[in-house]
Structure 1
């Protein structure tokens, strides 16, 4: 069995496509006097503020992991898992896909999340799958797509609910749509917190989202196929 891949954000600094997108994004921010970034920040805030905590109809529930604290889910991750458990108990879904590889501990985020759900009384008749090979949100969704298609890329994807923290929803929704999902955002928290920590997370997510979106748009504009295909 291959050794698990651990999250290492510094690996992106060795990626020429990522650096290319960063240069384009920085130039856009400078030329706009920061207005481009403010536009993305408002988009991230709107998604975070107005996303529901449930969804219409039956969907596969995708629960995004988060870096573990001492091999256990941290506060944000527990909120996501608690929302998932409440939705299962309310009969919203019978199929849960826990996303998250190894982030430094002995077990994956998906494994830790599953163990927490079982401790909280998750029923055994719920179909739970673990996606444990990813190290970021894009890989979460790409591997989830493979699991849902059963290895057949021609298989039609079922509609999914994307459950994560409010600050993280805009990025997950963008990536899911780029990968061909019919995705519905679902917030872990009952409402958007306005703490200094949360505002900083929203600002960080706006930066990530701008970096991804402008990088892809630029790649499509100039015909950089390899760069555009990074999110497909």
Structure 2
């Protein structure tokens, strides 16, 4: 019995985070249907527009913070409780900018979807294995399991300090920057992109990731526009 439960838990694990978490929500499914109809109605042009925007930001985003500020480092799903390659690149970017005096403080974003160590905890452990400037505090945000929750909880932590939200740098993989920037703008951040990689990689994996991200952003944007048009405050409130 226990073996069966563990097997089922393992099969369902990918469905506890990311876009799959919302497939039981009628509003989200309605947004997906409206998005599909919009893509068909525009003969795919709607998706192409989002893909081009995603590609441009991924290509042109800076790999070094232009001024000193707060860094929000996005986590990524752990592999056997440890950061994988994309997450390590994000952490290394934060380390370099902190050592170069370009970070006032750093927030590591990411909770746990399976009861193990959070992404933020794993990230902090990785950072502690190398150099880190003593004057740059690291704060862990461990309640979120997707990019929207990352930013919502980070906003709460920043507001706990009192005063307006400070300008922030969003530290993540190039393929992920467009979605994070879109959500951060919706949530009221004064945000700038900071790419984990020195340059955009033209590989099959990266092209697939960019294509998926463009689809996610199109889904979110179209769904929010539809919600505003139909007066669905519940959906709009999620990203404000």
TM-score, structure 2 length as denominator?
A: 0.90
The answer to whether structure 1 residue 108 and structure 2 residue 118 are counterparts is yes
Distance 2:21 2:194 in 1: 30
Work out the number of aligned pairs and report it: 225
Per-residue deviation, residues 100-144 of structure 1 (Å, max 9, x unmatched): 001436200000000000102223332100000001000000000
SS in 2 for 1:97: strand
Of residues 46, 49, 52, the one that matches 2:56 is 46
Match of 1:196 in 2: 204
Match of 1:174 in 2: 182
The answer to whether structure 1 residue 19 and structure 2 residue 29 are counterparts is yes
Distance 1:75 1:131 in 2: 20
Distance 2:235 2:17 in 1: 21
* Higher mean displacement: 134-143 or 121-130: 121-130
Distance 2:93 2:126 in 1: 12
1:8 CA displacement:
3.3
Distance 2:28 2:221 in 1: 12
- 1:17-166 alignment to 2 at 5 Å? 17-104=27-114, 106-150=116-160, 155-166=163-174
Match of 2:9 in 1: none
Per-residue deviation, residues 130-176 of structure 1 (Å, max 9, x unmatched): 00000100000000000000086xx4101100000000000000000
The answer to whether structure 1 residue 183 and structure 2 residue 191 are counterparts is yes
Distance 2:236 2:59 in 1: 30
Any gaps of 5 or more consecutive residues in structure 2? Answer: 1-12
Structure 1 consecutive aligned stretches of length 4 or more whose deviation exceeds 4 Å: none
**Pair 1:104–1:60, CA change in 2 (3 A):** same
Match of 2:17 in 1: 8
Distance 2:239 2:39 in 1: 22
Distance 1:223 1:179 in 2: 19
Q: Give the alignment's Cα RMSD to 1 decimal.
A: 1.4
The answer to whether the 8 Å contact 1:70/1:105 transfers is no
Distance 1:179 1:50 in 2: 23
Distance 2:52 2:206 in 1: 14
The answer to whether the 8 Å contact 2:65/2:97 transfers is no
Match of 1:3 in 2: none
Any gaps of 5 or more consecutive residues in structure 1? Answer: 1-5
Per-residue deviation, residues 163-205 of structure 1 (Å, max 9, x unmatched): 0000000000000000000000000000000000000000000
* Higher mean displacement: 117-126 or 136-145: 117-126
The answer to whether the 8 Å contact 2:97/2:103 transfers is yes
SS in 1 for 2:149: helix
Distance 1:211 1:123 in 2: 40
SS in 2 for 1:94: strand
* Higher mean displacement: 184-193 or 49-58: 49-58
